[in-house]
């Protein structure tokens, strides 16, 4: 697994954590419920790393789509950076 892919998954976990914090700030829920939400979300994202088709064949399709989507994002980023499109934005 590449470092960039790992960073994308960590970004997803960070966004999920911030969403949970915002949800907690707007409602009155208990610490146990916060921990359950974070653990469940992190488990789903961690399972995306793995090939879980041997465990649950129905879940591998939807989790595989997330993996493909991240691959497409990284490939598009590479293509745009090679073509110099990203540099034009910053200059």
**pTM of the full predicted structure?**
0.38
How many domains, the chain? 1
pLDDT at 91 over 50: no
Note down the domain range covering 83.
3-90
Residue 55 and residue 46: Cα distance in Å, rounded?
Answer: 14
24-80, pLDDT tens digit by residue? 777 776 777 777 777 777 776 666 655 544 445 454 455 556 667 677 777 776 766
pLDDT, position 81:
66
Q: 59-62 long-range CB contacts below 8 Å, 24 or more apart?
A: none
When pLDDT is averaged across residues 10-36 and rounded to a whole number, the result is 75
pLDDT, position 12:
77
């Amino acid at each position: 697994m590449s470092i960039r892919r790992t960073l994308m998954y960590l970004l997803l976990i960070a966004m999920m954590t911030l969403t949970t914090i915002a949800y907690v700030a707007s409602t009155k829920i208990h610490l146990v419920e916060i921990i359950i939400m974070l653990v469940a979300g992190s488990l789903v994202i961690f399972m995306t790393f793995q090939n879980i088709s041997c465990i649950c064949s129905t879940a591998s399709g939807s989790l595989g789509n997330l993996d493909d989507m991240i691959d497409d994002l990284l490939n598009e980023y590479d293509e745009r950076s090679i073509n110099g499109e990203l540099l034009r934005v910053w200059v």
